[in-house]
Amino acid sequence: MQNLVKLVMRTPAVAFAICALVASSAALGAQNWSDDSERVSRTLPLEAGGTLKLNTFSGRVTITTTDVSEVVVDAVRHGPRERLNRITLDIHGDSHAVVIEANHRERGWSMFSGSSVVDTDFDIKVPRRTNLDVNVFSASLTIDGVDGSQKLNGFSSRMTLNEVTGPLRAHTFSGSIIVRAKVWEPNQAVDLDTFSGNVELHLPETARGSVTFNSFSGHLDSDLPLTFRSSSGRRSLTAEVGGGGDAAVKVKTFSGNVRIDR
């Protein structure tokens, strides 16, 4: 238990999420979470190779691609009317970076004044070449076809990444992670970390490099031939896939299982 506390507290996103969860739970008994809803639609310019940064708490996030140099945001927000008025959806940026804050509180509205979050469903379109920096708590996250670096953090979020290209870091706590990599670069970097969720990693035929796996009680299954460098059973190992190379896959779980295939 002491190790678990240390694990949680050394992750800033997790610490913030726990504080927000406590504040939210205190208000749920007095207010109906889905009293009202509103739709927000925005379009902002974003050049290929730019960055999308998203911070949200609960709901759903779907990110797909377009061949146009712009970000299209369609959001549906749910909550009591007072909360929707006081906690706003802030979308701003320029052609190089777009920032989306799902729970922007007005000055003087602290998380102890009532629930500090609004349940929000996002459908977002970005240029195909876009870098992603996404922080969620309990929102499920689906990303399709994005080519760019991706830094993804969640707590109880299920993450599904389809036909993605580029360096990837996806960390969640109790959610599962599914990755289908489309293109494999010679120096590809994949870093996946979950506590109790399972991991599925589907690699292209061209995948070459090293695989490092660590887990407390989970295990690794691979349909791909692995050449072991070192191993402590199925819960800690270093191996090569496709003859090895500079690319590196790192997967860490506590109780989650990992499966690698094409």
Residue at token pair 């309990």: 138
In angstroms, the CA 199 to CA 159 distance is: 10
In angstroms, the CA 141 to CA 51 distance is: 17
Angle at 117 between CA 111 and CA 122, to 5 degrees: 160
Residue at token pair 């072991």: 228
pLDDT tier at 108, thresholds 50, 70, 90? low
In angstroms, the CA 62 to CA 51 distance is: 16
| Domains of the chain: total | 1
Question: Which CATH number does the domain housing residue 180 bear?
Answer: 2.160.20
pLDDT for 19 beyond 70: no
Q: What are phi and psi of 58, to 5 degrees?
A: -130, 160
**Domain interval for residue 100:** 2-261
pLDDT for 121 beyond 60: yes
Contact 118, 79 (CB under 8 A): yes
In angstroms, the CA 260 to CA 224 distance is: 7
In angstroms, the CA 125 to CA 47 distance is: 13
> What is this structure's pTM?
0.85
Least confident of 66-80, 221-235, 243-257: 221-235
- pLDDT tens track for 78-89: 999 989 999 999
